[in-house]
Each structure stands twice: as C-alpha cells, then as structure tokens.
Amino acid sequence: MINDTVQFPGFNINLRKATLADRPIIYNWLAKSTSTKSMLGEPTFPDAPAPNWNEFVDDFCDGFFTDSVGNNGKCFIIRNKHYEIGTVCYDLMNLTKKYVLLDIWLKDEKYCGHGYGSETLLLLCIYLFNAKGIKYFYTAPSLRNIRAIKSYEKAGFNKLKMNRSEAKRKFGIDIFDYRDNVVMKKVIKESF
C-alpha cells in the first residue's frame, strides 16, 4: 500500500481508501445507479430494497471512511487505469480468528462483466492477508445474484452450507440482507 492506494503487480485495478467525501458517491452507486437493480429492490430483490441515506450511514459509519482506531471495517474506491468504477468494503474483521466479511458493488452496469469484481476481490484479499494476517474471507450474496456469485467463484470463493442462525453465531450479528443469502468463503494460506 502506497499513499492510501492498494496495488499489486499484474493487476489492472487498484484500490484507494475511501474518505468521508466519498460516502455520498458510494451511496449513489449502491442505491441509485444502473447496477442497483442487479442487487437491490424491485423486481428481483423485493425483500432487499435499496437503503435510504440514513440507513446507509447507519450501516457505513464514519469509521469506514477514516483511519479510526478500533474500526473493524473500511471502504475502498475501485479504480481501473482511467476511472473510478465501484467500491469494495470489508467489515467485522476479527484479527484473533483471522477472518473478515467482504462486500462489493460497481457504479454502473457498463463496468460489469469485465472481470473487475473478481480482480478487486483478489486484490483486497492479498492486501488483507499481507497487511493484517487475514486468512478467511467471507461474503453473503443473494442466490438470485448469479453474476455476483460467479465473480466470487472466479476469485476463489466457495459456497458453504451455513444458514442464517449459524452465520449469526459465527459473526455475532445477522449478516443476511436477503431471504436467500448464501455464505461463501475463500482461504489464503501463503503470501504472494
């Protein structure tokens, strides 16, 4: 990581630590973009409507956008060579048990289907393994979000048989946003 930028040789994207000024932009990418319908709201996800601003701020507190000591989560801006194309976040980092929960969304449909999601996930996993010793990476997309699941699988994540109550016991909170979440896991055992 150099100057708040995560980069690694051979990757076409890099990650910039998000700041408080980025929070409204990241919110719009999640709740008001052309890619929103692929993860939230009607018609495919009526059980998971897009959050309003206050709900988003409750979920993504200031610590996700600052270097607050003790915060277990952080947001990054995904950049290809020319543009900001989305965001990736980690949350519920447990340094003792060496795990973290990941989430990602792209700002526009035109950036989907180009491998940016898989590459971003790999880059963040490598960074967190090297910087924090994290070995176990989790995510919990909806089974209806086939494109996201394929992206996670391409990045080395595998589906687990973990129901809502088992996930809540593991992470200490309910991580399911949908009626059909599937928990996926990636393990890194050696440095890059």
For the stretch 26-84, pLDDT in tens is 999 999 999 999 999 999 999 999 999 999 999 999 999 998 767 789 999 999 988 99
190, part of any domain = no
Cα 141 to Cα 10, 48, 104: the distances in Å are 27, 11, 10
**In which domain, by residue range, is 45 found?**
5-138
Instruction: Give the predicted TM-score (pTM) of the model.
Output: 0.93
CATH number at residue 97: 3.40.630.30
Contact 63, 91 (CB under 8 A): no
Structural domain includes residue 109: yes
Per-residue pLDDT reduced to its tens digit, 98-156: 999 999 999 999 999 899 999 999 999 999 999 999 999 999 999 999 999 999 999 99
Strand partners, 138: 101, 185
How many structural domains is the chain composed of?
1
The pLDDT value recorded for residue 2 is 46
pLDDT for the residue numbered 104: 96
